[in-house]
Copies of this chain bind each other. A is one copy, B any other.
């Protein structure tokens, strides 16, 4: 039995107690951009309930064109107004460089990715850079409430990056 099959069995239990559907637009008007890290349960960390917030996640919780695309859809079509960015301690992105990652792929496959791995050496600096990418985008209409945080995987606490 694959892990996927095991998780599908969990879904049957979830559906038994499920009540829906909720409305499409996020009730709290907020979008979260967080790292994909397995230890960040965004609904738990922020006390979110189903239906309240868009949740965008990727390696690092960084902002590339695809996060700008998602945030543009979130704000322009579904009415969100605030953005919460979450990076975290002990992040894998602190452990390698773009150069090494792309060298490794090239060695294994013969092809070098055209994209950056978006690795970073400093958490706070990359939170600030991610906020700056959102604020610099012409496609995100509401940028007065964009705040960034570091989640501590040892304590469960968020600390704001100023």
Interface size, A (range): 35 or more
- Tell whether, in the assembled complex, residue B59 and residue A57 are in contact, meaning their CB atoms are under 8 Å apart: no
- Tell whether, in the assembled complex, residue A2 and residue B82 are in contact, meaning their CB atoms are under 8 Å apart: yes
- Tell whether, in the assembled complex, residue B38 and residue A26 are in contact, meaning their CB atoms are under 8 Å apart: yes
Q: 1/0 per position for A48-85, CB-CB distance to B under 8 A?
A: 10111111111100001111111011101110001010
Q: CA separation between A84 and B114, bound complex, in Å?
A: 25
A161 interface contact, C-beta 8 A: no
Q: Give, as a whole number of angstroms, the nearest-CB distance from A138 to chain B.
A: 5
Sorted nearest first, the 7 A-B pairs with minimum C-beta distance are: A10-B47, A18-B156, A66-B66, A15-B156, A59-B70, A26-B38, A7-B46
